[in-house]
Amino acid sequence: LSGSASETTGVFVPKQEDYQKVYNEIAALLQDKDDYDDGSYGPVLVRLAWHASGTYDKETGTGGSNGATMRFQPEGDHGANAGLVTARDFLAPVKAKFPWITYSDLWILAGICAIQEMQGPTIPYRPGRMDKDIAACTPDGRLPDASQGNKHLRGIFGRMGFNDQEIVALSGAHALGRCHTDRSGFDGPWTFSPTVVTNEYYKLLLNEKWNWKKWNGPKQYEDKTTKTLMMLPTDMALVSDKAFKQWVDKYAKDEALFFKDFAAVITKLFELGVPFDETTQQTPMTLKPTAN
Ligand code: ZEM
């Protein structure tokens, strides 16, 4: 059942069972290593997979998860990637144990594992990404800038090929994790349960009253009730823009719909620019979550 050496090349050809082993290793590490923020490296693994993918440019076909060029200094040092070395270091022992998997496939598998282990929807996985060298690093500025608004979001995500509904569905990932003053300059979590995938982000956007936070840091919002939660200017654009807000309303009301749409759009994100075998398109695999 497990992968074997190809008869023609001698190269190890992994099977689903081998990817499941990698998945289980990451899941076990997530369980064991709880010295990150709210007790889980899950959110920062999701962010690594997103920033690896979100550099994609549909016009030139450059960027995207097929390359893992964030390993190299120019891209790893882009302001938007501050702090993601934590996620890459977390995965180093996994790469050492399973040297046959590319970094590009590993980072996406880790993002999927984190989402599923944090009780999110099942995300189909297709391997096949190849690591590229330093020359494939993308220029700075392809990832979104949190201080901007609706036009910027449509510009950045439109360049990847996403529409309004997909932008709003992807943004629900901000149910997870938090901002760090030593990374982005922003501070705090979006929700009260930053290590569980929920539709709370949308509910809070609609039901909380959000005021500008009074502080010396970059402009961000805080909730009126507890002053412990935050929203970025780009998050608030999803309720001030009518076309975006329709989708916020839908996802706030219906968590199952959010799960379904989030699974579809994150699969699209993770596969931008990945050249799968044209004839088979490779059947996506479902990797089994551990506990839940
Ligand atoms: Zn985020 N994100 N993001 N995001 N993000 C941060 C953290 C996390 C934007 C953004 O500027 C920021 C998506 C979309 C957008 C996650 C996932 C996804 C932070 C805080 C910022 C500033 C970084 C820090 O200080 O550590 C903007 C402007 C976005 C445009 C819509 C999408 C899409 C995501 C995944 C699908 C996650 C999981 C985090 C939390 C990371 C952590 O370390 O806790």
Give the pLDDT confidence of 182-192 residue by residue, as tens digits. 999 999 999 99
For the CA atoms of 217, 218, 223, 227, the dihedral, rounded to the nearest 10 degrees, stands at: -10
Is 180 in the active site?
Answer: no
List, for residues 132-167, the tens digit of each pLDDT value.
999 999 999 999 999 999 999 999 999 999 999 999
Of 86, 153, 179, 196, best ligand 1 pocket probe by most atoms within 8 Å of the beta carbon: 179
Q: How far is the CA of 174 from the centre of ligand 1 (A)?
A: 6
Nearest to 50, CA basis, from 282, 238, 239, 267: 267
List, for residues 79-122, the tens digit of each pLDDT value.
999 999 999 999 999 999 999 999 999 999 999 999 999 999 99
> Residue 282: its pLDDT value, please?
81
Residue 127 burial by CB count (10 A; 0-12/13-18/19+): exposed, middle or buried? buried
Provide the sign of the torsion angle of the four alpha carbons 46, 51, 53, 57, taken in this order.
Answer: positive
List, for residues 25-73, the tens digit of each pLDDT value.
999 999 999 999 999 999 999 999 999 999 999 999 999 999 999 999 9
Q: Which two tokens stand for residue 208?
A: 């909380």
Which of the residues 51, 78, 174, 247 is marked catalytic? Answer: 51
The torsion angles phi and psi of 213, rounded to 5 degrees, stand at -75, 135
User: What's the mean pLDDT when you consider all of the chain?
Assistant: 96
DSSP-assigned beta bridge partners for residue 4: 13
The C-alpha atoms of residue 266 and residue 262 are separated, in whole angstroms, by 6
Helix (H) or strand (E) holding 25: helix 16-32
Q: How far is the CA of 2 from the centre of ligand 1 (A)?
A: 36
The C-alpha atoms of residue 100 and residue 186 are separated, in whole angstroms, by 38
> Please, are residues 179 and 186 in contact by the beta-carbon 8 Å criterion?
yes
Whether 146 is in the pocket of ligand 1, judged by its Cβ within 6 Å, is yes
The CA angle 23-29-34, to the nearest 5 degrees, is 140
Domains and CATH numbers, the chain: 4-142+265-270 (1.10.520.10), 150-264 (1.10.420.10)
> Residue 9: its pLDDT value, please?
75
Predicted ipTM > 0.90:
yes
> Residue 182: its pLDDT value, please?
97
The CA angle 62-67-73, to the nearest 5 degrees, is 95
| Ligand 1 atom closest to 189 (CA) | 44
DSSP character for 141?
T
| Ligand 1 atom closest to 194 (CA) | 44
Q: How far is the CA of 272 from the centre of ligand 1 (A)?
A: 18
What lies within 8 Å, CB to CB, of 206 at 6+ separation is 239, 248, 249, 252
The C-alpha atoms of residue 98 and residue 94 are separated, in whole angstroms, by 6
Amino acid of residue 153: L
> Please, are residues 265 and 170 in contact by the beta-carbon 8 Å criterion?
yes
The torsion angles phi and psi of 5, rounded to 5 degrees, stand at -70, 130
Label residue 8 by pLDDT band (50, 70, 90): confident
Higher pLDDT, 143 or 12: 143
> Residue 1: its pLDDT value, please?
57
Average of per-residue pLDDT across 123-132: 96
Is 51 in the active site?
Answer: yes
DSSP-assigned beta bridge partners for residue 5: 12
Q: Which two tokens stand for residue 161?
A: 């090929």
Label residue 10 by pLDDT band (50, 70, 90): confident
> Residue 268: its pLDDT value, please?
98
Average of per-residue pLDDT across 206-230: 98
| Ligand 1 atom closest to 144 (CA) | 28
List, for residues 242-289, the tens digit of each pLDDT value.
999 999 999 999 999 999 999 999 999 999 999 987 766 688 999 999
User: Which ranges of 36-171 would DSSP assign to H, the alpha helix?
Assistant: 42-53, 73-76, 85-97, 103-117, 150-160, 164-171
Q: Is 221 helix (H, G, I), strand (E, B) or coil?
A: strand
Higher pLDDT, 164 or 291: 164
> Residue 214: its pLDDT value, please?
97
> Residue 166: its pLDDT value, please?
99
N- to C-terminal Cα separation, the chain = 25
Label residue 131 by pLDDT band (50, 70, 90): very high
